[in-house]
Amino acid sequence: MKFEMKHKPMSVFNFISLADIVLLLLIYFLLTSTYVVQKGIRVRLPKSVTSEKTTVSKQITITVTKSGAIFLNNKPVLLKDLSPKIKQLLEINPKQIIVLRADASLPLEQAVKVLDEAKKAGGEKLLIATYKEE
C-alpha cells in the first residue's frame, strides 16, 4: 500500500482563528485599560501611627499641594475665595465633615490659615488626612 502526500495550496482562509485572536486582544485591552492611572492632585500625606480610616459619603475636601496651590473638592480655588465657597457647600448640608489633605512638607502656618478659613465659613468638624505608618 502506497501513501501519497498531496501538497496543494490552501485556497480558503479560516477566519475563525482570526476572530479568536481579535477577541482575545479586545479582552486584554479592556482589562488593562482599567489600570491606567487617573489624573489627580498629588499630595504626600503626613505619617501617623494612630491614624483611623473614616468613610463619610458627604465630605468637603480641601487639598493643599507642596507648592501651596489650594483645591476645594478637586477644583482650584484661591485662599480668599475659600471661606465663601465652603459656606455655600455647608448651606446644603451643615453636618459635612471638612477634611484637609495637606502635603507633609507644607509649612504649618499655611495649613492653619486654610483651617481658619474653613472655621470662618462655619465648619465644625475638621479633620486632617494622614496615612497610617506600618
Rounded to 5°, the CA angle 86-73-96 comes to: 50
Question: How would residue 32 be classed by pLDDT, with cut points 50, 70 and 90?
Answer: confident
Say how far apart CA 46 and CA 127 lie, in whole Å: 13
Residue closest to 43 by CA, chosen among 100, 99, 98, 102: 102
Mean pLDDT over 78-103 rounds to 89
3-state SS assignment for residue 72: strand
Residue extents of the structural domains in the chain: 47-132
Report pLDDT for 85: 92
Report pLDDT for 4: 72
Report pLDDT for 78: 93
Beta strands in 8-116, from DSSP E residues, in sequence order = 47-48, 59-64, 70-72, 75-77, 97-102
Distance of CA 66 to the CA centre of its chain: 17
User: Is pLDDT of 118 > 70?
Assistant: yes
| Residues 34-90 pLDDT 10s | 665 545 666 666 776 666 666 556 788 999 988 889 999 889 999 999 999 999 998
Render 3-26 in DSSP notation, one character per residue.
Answer: ---------S--HHHHHHHHHHHH
Given a contact cutoff of 8 angstroms between Cβ atoms, the answer to whether 102 and 61 are in contact is: no
User: Mean pLDDT across the chain, nearest whole number?
Assistant: 81
User: Is pLDDT of 91 > 80?
Assistant: yes
| Residues 13-27 pLDDT 10s | 777 788 888 999 999
Number of H helices, E strands in the chain: 3, 7
CATH of domain 47-132: 3.30.420.270
Say how far apart CA 98 and CA 121 lie, in whole Å: 11
